[in-house]
Chain A
Amino acid sequence: MNKKPGLSVEISGLKFKNPVMTASGTFGYGVEFSPFYDLSLLGGICTKGLSLEPRPGNNPGRIIETPAGMLNAIGLENVGIDSFITEKLPQLEPYETHVIANILGKSIDEFVAMTEKLNPCDKVSAYEINISCPNVASGGIQFSQDPKMAAKVTEAVKTASDKPVWIKLSPNVTDITQFARACEDAGADALTLVNTFVGMSIDVYKRRPMLSNVIGGLSGPAIRPLAVRLVHQASQAVSIPVVGIGGIVSARDALEFMIAGAAAVQVGTANFIDPMAAVNIINGLEKFCVEQGITDIKELIGSLELPGPGGFLYY
């Protein structure tokens, strides 16, 4: 009889019972999944992106399925930080899992204001600073496109925060390592990558964009190899933990990210495909460890064996 493998990981001083979290924007405020399974099974829950004021989101025509993925332009619809604190967060109180508050602001002041509002909330374990949503004109995307701006918002939130600060990076940049290093240098405790890739889909009969917002964020298995490469590259560039996300639908996919360098993973679009996805992935990780004789999943983090120097095109 095999001993149960250790699945716990540590990120930014927090212990996670397993390395599987659910991704912001794919899991509502958490309780929406309570009909399907006990949320305490999860390593953590990243909330829907929260803004200072409630936002109605974009017009209809918000999603379109694409090969092995989907484009979305929800437009950051959310209840706002105050309603989150008074109405949504208390519903997560019974569950023994980390709540990571994903916050997004149009300005540094907004990020700081939200951080200060959430600081007294014991149920929130950490902040995930969303500087990378592609779907609103003034959604803070400027912070994702300039390493100096990314550093500024990191520093400001870090100063205001009494919880660990994770920065969720955009993949829509030329060199991810610049952003990863800038955020690390500014005090980030961890990085989450990647957010969605900007994409577009066209109705050829009507000659109109499929999405009312014209462009949207691509997610799902289609982006997995792109995300694995970015996670690998970023994790090589920094010493803070990287949380990997991008098209994970199975334990095998999650393992790929961890071996590439991720200390934990987030499951996103898979929650739509199968509400049980995150739990199935946790069970699959345990099964893999048992089968492979791995006693502690932490052994896998960044365990990628690279070919020797020279002769291969890297990055």
Chain B
Amino acid sequence: MIYTTKAKILDHEELAPGTWRLRLKNPRISCEVRPGQFVMVSVGSGEEIPSPILKRALAVYQADESSLSLIIRIEGDGTRKICQLAPGNSLNLVGPLGNGFDLDRAAGKYSVITAGGSGIASVYLLARELRQRGEKACLVYGGRSASDLAGLEDFKELDIPVFTATEDGSSGFKGLVTGALEQVLAGLEGESPSLYTCGPNPMMKAVTKLAAEKSIPCQLSVEIKMACGFGVCLGCAVKTTRGNRLACTHGPVFDASEFIWEDFEGRGETDDE
């Protein structure tokens, strides 16, 4: 079911410079959302014309019986207004939307979740679900510096191995997250790994390449501008080996081996006007 609804902001917190966590009350969406799904979010009410007019597509980070949380990096007016609206006010939500991660393919494998920056928002529920299913999983998480690694504690609480990578070396591996990923994969002797990734396009492209070289199955979650989020505007098309696919309804999770990066990078990314 897709709901179009209001959700009260219970609290918000700036986790890292420019990156916020919002907790919203909405049992209908929070009970139904699956790992890797997203919601469309806007500020505003009634007859007034919202500014910006379009909702923003945002991954659901955490969810329980009554509330859901989002991790959002401020990239423009839309995300700024959403993050900075005072608790007690309500946001407009449509969701849950998208296909989410295919967890059945994780059965019996060692799931290596690779996230970069605010891409972490898409993978918490994935990690939690894998733990609940008793599957082996770890997180490889990269950012510019230690202060960028929002949500790290939440993953540690899931009791999965967490490996960090920072460009300035302030936490974990010094360098790009793919460097840390290579080390993690090298240490998984005897395991059959499966990759999940969400983050900046260059990172996901590098993870895709690594997965292809090592013949490891890989699912990636893309970020792209959407107007509607439920398959009617056709604005979020991406190219795959199976033809054009919509990030909102066929995705946002795609099999990395089917995803065509050509024509995607640098276009339709989610930075606001």
- CB within 8 Å for A208 and B266 given contacts A65-B273, A70-B54: yes
The one of A28, A56, A63 that contacts B235, using a Cβ cutoff of 8 Å? A63
- CB within 8 Å for A61 and B267 given contacts A28-B232, A274-B92: yes
Interface secondary structure of A, over-half rule: loop
A contact residues, range = 35 or more
- Is A142 an interface residue, CB under 8 A from the partner? no
Most buried by A among B224, B237, B238, B243: B237
Contact A68 B267 (CB under 8 A): no
List of B residues within 8 angstroms of A272 by Cβ: 54-55, 227-228, 232-233
- Is A64 an interface residue, CB under 8 A from the partner? yes
Contact with B along A267-309 (1 / 0, CB 8 A): 0010111111000000010000000000000000000000000
List of B residues within 8 angstroms of A59 by Cβ: 237, 239, 263, 267
Among B9-17, B45-53, B125-133, the stretch in contact with A: B45-53
Interface secondary structure of B, over-half rule: loop
- Is A35 an interface residue, CB under 8 A from the partner? yes
A251, B47: Cα distance in complex, Å: 9
Contact B263 A273 (CB under 8 A): no
Most buried by A among B51, B55, B235: B235
Contact A273 B54 (CB under 8 A): yes
- Is A72 an interface residue, CB under 8 A from the partner? yes
List of A residues within 8 angstroms of B264 by Cβ: 60
- CB within 8 Å for A60 and B234 given contacts A36-B4, A252-B47, A274-B92: no
Contact A273 B230 (CB under 8 A): no
Contact with A along B216-247 (1 / 0, CB 8 A): 00000000111110111111111100011000
- Is B1 an interface residue, CB under 8 A from the partner? yes
Interface residues in chain B, defined as those with a beta carbon under 8 Å from any beta carbon in chain A = 1-2, 4, 42, 47, 49-55, 78, 92, 94, 224-228, 230-239, 243-244, 263-264, 266-268, 272-273
Could you show 12 A-B contacts with beta carbons less than 8 Å apart? A33-B232, A63-B233, A63-B235, A68-B49, A70-B54, A74-B233, A74-B237, A271-B228, A271-B232, A272-B54, A273-B42, A273-B54
